[in-house]
Chains A and B, each alone.
Chain A
Amino acid sequence: MSISQFMTNEHRECDTHFATAEQAAANGNWEEAEKAFLTFSNETLTHFKREEDELFPAFETQTGNTQGPTQVMRYEHEQVKGLIGKMAEALEAQDKDAYLSLCESMMILLQQHNMKEEQMLYAMCERLLPPDLKEETLEKMKQVAL
């Protein structure tokens, strides 16, 4: 499996948990919403950590560019983390309207971010990193835990 496939699959898995949580909240099933949201946020944060601890540094070392796309991706991760916090608060308060509203912002922000990674950054990594480094980075990413 390539870095691109592995990371793209993770994006899709996060989407599924997100959608489950959103639908459960819309139905007023807060217990299920909380459970799915927790899985979503854990998987998303682990995914970010894989990128920030392993993939981005590998890309930066290879390209010598630390001020470019990886920096923007880190910034967007911070935005997503901020939203996760707000969503958790809305979930805690069982505020359906606020939660669904935040879901809307989160989805657009996250999908936009994912598309940039999938269409540009991962594609660049596949192209620029030497094969052994790609393999090594993928293995290291798989070991990352929160």
Chain B
Amino acid sequence: MFSQNGLSLDQAPPISVVFRFFLSGSIFGLLAGILTLLFGTDIFNADTSQALILTHTLTLGVMLSFMFGALFQMLPVIAGVKLTAPVKKANLVQYPLVVGVLLLLSAFYTGKAVFFISASMLLGITIIGIAFIMLKNLLALPNHSHSTKGMTIALSSLILLTLFALYLTATLAGLLEGTLYSQVKTAHYSFGLFGWITLLIISISFQVIEMFYVTPAYPAFISKSLPLRLFGLLLLGSIGAFFFAQSWFFVDIVIVGFLLCYALMTLRRLSQRKRPIADATVWFWRTGMMLLVLSASATLTTRFHPIPSLQAINYIFFAGFALSIVFAMFYKIVPFLTWFHLNAQGYFTAPMMHEVIHPKTAMKHLYIHLATLAAFVVSVYFTPIIYLAGSLTLLSFGWMLWQIVHAWKLYVHTQKTGERFEMTIPKAKD
């Protein structure tokens, strides 16, 4: 009939499940800062291995870690998906993911087949495995929201883009001839950027924008059909590319139109919040959405006028968009979970959200983030500034890392020293 578990907060995974992914995501963020300092502005040239290395540090190391952490938390509590043995699953995902990413980065750096093969095996099995488990559980849900439907499509994209990646790495390792290399590469990054990262953010936003900021729901033409249309367009572009060289040109233009619609609508919803207080997370969302608008506009422009500096800036806009949303979610999730778990365990002394991360601390990170983005943009024209951008990236993720460590210490401290009472669930009336 319906899943009791779907309504149960007891299904929330232990806090360590989420925190461990956030921790490794932040550490990969520090690595991204170090790599920026080492590589300089070579990262802006998409044809260099430096660009590949930094891109995968950000997408796999940082974003995938944060997104898996968020999914482990959100799927049971918000979507009603039951993930059994979450700690075991999280470990089985995290360790191979961390090692796999490091191997992949080594593969890009050295070009050695052994690194490509070992990275592909670890990442392929892990990512497809967990995405499949999450997908299977999502599909079994009796009641679907727009958000869970979108997550289902985003996870399908993740599986597809990983399969494409395996073809690419097999070619780079010399196992395949790679006659379709360039078409598969375009399909890989298109599904990665739009089908996975953007679509997951879109799907989550259907739920959290309304929930965290108390806004009207998204209009049906966006929440109901956007995820599927986006996915359909990506399939069309990927398949079309085999028959028609210009297929992505047209598909990208329509995708850009959809993304502009979505981003502008989200900005509008954020201005319609019932809670007028604008904390750092509102500004992170706004920053992210404005960067998505800029990125979509830059994509459109470069399709007609391929200006290299604009392509480099678009790289910054898109990465900035995704990271802004990661930060926005982080500053809600970490304080809430710390308070929520301790409160649910019955601790009188459970720290309040502001004691875990004060709004001013989050606001400072917003300024660091904005400065980082500005430094990256300036460095496209004035290259020495890249060192400032790299240093600010280190500061940004270091800031985040400290917040997780602080929250974890507070959590453990409260468990050790706090007074608690046993909370009983009131009995239903007969």
Contact = CB atoms under 8 A, between A and B. Distances in A.
A66 B430 CA distance: 8
A76 B6 contact: no
A15 B215 CA distance: 10
B2 A124 contact: yes
A22 B355 CA distance: 18
A5 B428 CA distance: 24
A136 B207 CA distance: 32
Interface string A93-133: 00001101110110111011001100111011000000000
Interface stretch (B191-199, B233-241, B274-282): B274-282
A70 B6 CA distance: 12
Contacts of B6: 69, 116, 120
Given A102-B352, A107-B212, A68 B143 contact: no
B78 A112 contact: yes
Chain B: number of interface residues, binned into ranges: 35 or more
Contacts of A97: 354
A2 interface: no
A57 B339 CA distance: 31
A73 interface: yes
Contacts of A112: 77-78, 211
A143 interface: no
Interface in B234-289: 274-277
Interface in B394-430: 423, 425-426, 428-430
Contacts, number: 110
A57 B429 CA distance: 7
B7 A74 contact: no
Given A22-B275, A120-B2, A66 B212 contact: no
B336 A105 contact: yes
Contacts of A109: 340
Nearest to A75: B425
Contact of B354 (A23, A57, A72, A100): A100
B344 A111 contact: no
A60 interface: yes
Interface of A: 15-16, 18-19, 22-23, 26, 52, 56-57, 60, 63, 65-76, 78-79, 82, 97-98, 100-102, 104-105, 107-109, 111-112, 115-116, 119-121, 123-124
Q: What 3 pairs across the A-B complex have the smallest Cβ distances?
A: A101-B354, A69-B7, A66-B428
Interface of B: 1-2, 4, 6-10, 77-78, 80, 143, 145, 207, 210-212, 214, 274-277, 332, 335-336, 339-340, 343-344, 352-355, 359, 423, 425-426, 428-430
Given A23-B276, A116-B80, 13 more contacts: A22-B277, A23-B275, A65-B4, A66-B428, A71-B425, A71-B426, A97-B354, A98-B354, A101-B353, A108-B212, A108-B340, A109-B340, A120-B80
26 contacts: A18-B275, A19-B274, A22-B277, A23-B275, A23-B276, A26-B277, A56-B429, A60-B428, A63-B1, A66-B430, A70-B428, A72-B8, A74-B426, A76-B9, A78-B423, A100-B359, A104-B335, A104-B353, A105-B352, A105-B353, A115-B207, A116-B7, A119-B143, A120-B6, A120-B7, A120-B143
